[in-house]
Amino acid sequence: MLCIFSDLKYCKENKFIFTLSKTTIKCLHAFRKNEHRSKGESYTIRCPAPQKDAVGVYLNTRREVQRQVLYYSIETGDVTVHTDYSGRVNISRDEMIVTSNIWNLQLNDAGAYWCSCIKHFEKCEMTADKGVILLINVPSGEVSSSTAKQHNGMSDFLIPVTTLTACSVLLLLLLLFGVWLVPKIKKTRRMINREEKTSGNGVYEVMNVHR
């Protein structure tokens, strides 16, 4: 069971981290519902009882890429957490139902979440619970602050760009001066030297004639 997300983008009007458009969610029927949470809040996901011979339970997520939020070993009780969720998730177990609690939600936590299990030699599906699509709301104040920072950042970026452009134009002018003007100056000097030399030879001939 995989859902492929494409065309993810910010939606400033509704202040959601992304919108799902152009019917680009494949196998949408595989998910139970959409859940909305604000940044910094927590969300609890319950993984149903896995198949009888399962040895572990995965909590999976997918937005741009698929990740395993955590793996719970039924045999040992050990929990392995993805680095993106380190320090932000814990689990509890009631009989065979594994409940995962993710707190301090971040914008990049948005996406599809579902549970799967693993046997000794193969993965298995947990079809009793079809999973959810988690949408993270962006607080309005944070959106305004983020927009202001983007404008300030653009202004700071334009200063060195303008300076670089001015230096490039100056360098181009100097290059044109060297390629076009300098040879003309040298040519003019050669012509002047040639005329002076010709004039000197004429004076020398006139003096010889008078002698």
- Give per-residue pLDDT as tens, 11-59: 334 443 333 333 334 444 455 678 999 999 999 999 988 888 899 999 9
Tokens 């040298």 found at = 186
How much is the pLDDT for 76?
92
Task: Give mean pLDDT, residues 174-183.
Answer: 77
Superfamily the domain 28-138 falls into? Immunoglobulins (2.60.40.10)
Q: Is 39 in contact with 62 (CB distance < 8 Å)?
A: no
- pLDDT band with cut points at 50, 70 and 90 for residue 133: very high
Question: Tokens for 113?
Answer: 């979440």
Contacts with 117 (C-beta within 8 Å, 6 or more apart), sequence order? 50, 51, 54, 56, 57, 58, 123, 124, 125, 126
- pLDDT band with cut points at 50, 70 and 90 for residue 185: confident
Could you state, in order of their start, the residue ranges of all structural domains in the chain?
A: 28-138
Q: CA 135, CA 108: separation in Å to the nearest integer? A: 10
How much is the pLDDT for 26?
41
Q: CA 102, CA 45: separation in Å to the nearest integer? A: 8
Contacts with 94 (C-beta within 8 Å, 6 or more apart), sequence order? none
